[in-house]
Amino acid sequence: MLMAQHNAMISAYDLLAQLQLLEPNAKPPTVYRALDFLLEEEFIHKIESSNAFILCPNFGEKHPSQLLLCKSCGSVIELHNAEIEELLQSLADEHGFSITTKTVEAHGICADCRE
């Protein structure tokens, strides 16, 4: 799988470019269908703010996640903090808000890039 070769987020068009090295006739719908399937099966996460994707290290199990996104190198650290999840749900409940997607994205600079 092309996504397994990356430790950072990757866009659909970057995936397409890599796929076309192996399959020159590959078209965008092929990549988008594959990404839709992988999202549905929870093998990957979509990074909404960047319109990019990452491989999920806990694939196959439904789980909320918090993502730390490095603005410099594009690396992603996936967290699973139940306290953050519970606080978010509690705040939503206080406001009568029904959450449909529970992914939190935080942008910053990773430890490697700060060095």
User: Does the annotation flag 42 for ligand binding?
Assistant: no
- 17 has which bridge partners? none
Instruction: Indicate the SS3 state at residue 5.
Output: helix
Q: What is the rounded CA–CA span in Å between residue 65 and residue 88?
A: 12
- 70 has which bridge partners? 108
User: Does the annotation flag 105 for ligand binding?
Assistant: no
User: Does the annotation flag 56 for ligand binding?
Assistant: no
Binding positions for Fe cation are 85
Where is the binding site, in residues?
70, 73, 85, 110, 113
User: Which residue positions form the known binding site for Zn(2+)?
Assistant: 70, 73, 110, 113
